[in-house]
Structure 1
Amino acid sequence: MNTDAGDVQDEALDLREEAAEPAPEVTEQGRLSELEAELAEAKAAVMYAQAETQNVRRRFEKEAQDAKTYAATAFARDVLSVADNLSRALSVIPPELREDEKMKGLVVGLEATGRELDSVFARHGISKIVAMGEMLDPNRHQAMMEVPSADVEPGTIVQEIQSGYMIRDRLLRPALVGVAKKGD
């Protein structure tokens, strides 16, 4: 009886040891699965890092291009006041002085300066905003007053107080305008 009981105990002990020790194939398979998961995770991280690097590069290139394109914005705003003053000076010269031989050279010189300034603006992508007769566009015009009018539709620009300018596709300075409203 002891031998039978001992054999049963030995078999039970053997079974417990087998259950406690995982099979070598299962361990290698599990480790392989872990390594494949880590590899997939590392590949995803590398792809994400490459995409992020490419986005940063594109953003930097766009910012550099914008800086180059719009670098003269502050200077252009300052020069606009010179253009405004020149335009005002030319507009107040009476016709008699324009025909006077002594003043004609000065007037012609001022007009040539105005044309040259417009040419320089055009070379640098600065253009005047057309306002008169247009509908008010708050992205390009700033309404300074309303003018009663039965002749045009309300919201139409009927007076330009100060010219507006664009630098390429960006607003440099809004046009200051008077807008029509329904007549009384």
Structure 2
Amino acid sequence: MAEDKQMDEAAEKELEGVPEELREETADGSPELQEHDRLAELENQLAEAKQNVLYAQAETQNVRRRAEKDAADARNYAATGFARDVLSVNDNLQRALDAIPKEIRDEEKWKGLITGIEATGRELENVFGKHGITRVAAKGLPLDPNVHQAMMEIPSDEAEPGTVVQEIQAGYMIKDRLLRPALVGVAKKPD
């Protein structure tokens, strides 16, 4: 009797969620699915399982693509922090060159030093180029808030309002991302 009760409970559990009209009682009174209805139920389960497999495959492919993109970004932009630090070295080198008065530039005894500083600046620019670091164009262009940061407005009759007329600090891109915005002065109509 205990076995019969367990079998009845097992049959009931198997038929959970199956509508009453699809059930059939056997000779001993236990419910059973009609054969073709059971087949239809199994086909539905198979179709659902196939759909779940397709969703899982699509999700796996999306995860793989995201991982590949993240790896490519890591390779392309790994040097971003270092590049920002080196930009300040480049800025100081340029300030040093700009601070040399014309009369000293013409003196023979300083020409070697000045040539060396200029060569170091060119080499830095070459290294930047090798690593996809490019200078942001600024002077003479309309202000672009994506790559320029306006620091002041300068009254000007010669330039259209909103045009960059002074570059305070050069901006740089690394590949297609902004590394540092150009700090600029923008023309405005004179008062």
Q: Normalised by the shorter chain, which TM-score bucket?
A: 0.7 to 0.9
Match of 1:160, SS state, is: strand
| 1:21 CA drift (Å) | 4.2
Q: Pick one of 157, 165, 168 that aligns with 2:172.
A: 165
Q: What is the CA RMSD across the aligned residues, in angstroms?
A: 1.4
Aligned equivalents of 2:126, 2:104: Cα separation in 1: 26
Q: Pick one of 107, 123, 127 that aligns with 1:120.
A: 127
Match of 2:81, SS state, is: helix
| 1:91 CA drift (Å) | 1.1
Question: TM-score of the superposition, structure 2-length normalised?
Answer: 0.82
TM superposition outliers: structure 1 runs of 4+ over 6 Å: none
Aligned equivalents of 1:171, 1:64: Cα separation in 2: 19
Q: Pick one of 49, 60, 64 that aligns with 1:42.
A: 49
Match of 1:132, SS state, is: coil
Match of 2:153, SS state, is: strand
The structure that is helix-richer by fraction is 1
Matched, 1:180 2:180: no
| Corresponding residue for residue 65 of structure 2 | 58
Q: Pick one of 103, 106, 121 that aligns with 2:113.
A: 106
| 1:182 CA drift (Å) | 1.4
| 1:160 CA drift (Å) | 0.6
Question: TM-score of the superposition, structure 1-length normalised?
Answer: 0.85
| Corresponding residue for residue 7 of structure 2 | none
Q: Pick one of 94, 101, 113 that aligns with 1:94.
A: 101
Aligned equivalents of 2:170, 2:61: Cα separation in 1: 42
Match of 1:147, SS state, is: strand
| Corresponding residue for residue 148 of structure 1 | 155
Structure 1, unmatched stretches of 5+, are 1-19
Work out the percentage of aligned pairs sharing the same amino acid.
69
Structure 2, unmatched stretches of 5+, are 1-23, 27-32
Match of 1:150, SS state, is: coil
Instruction: Please tell me the residue identity of whatever aligns with 2:121.
Output: G
| Corresponding residue for residue 145 of structure 2 | 138
Match of 2:58, SS state, is: helix
Q: Which has the larger radius of gyration?
A: 1
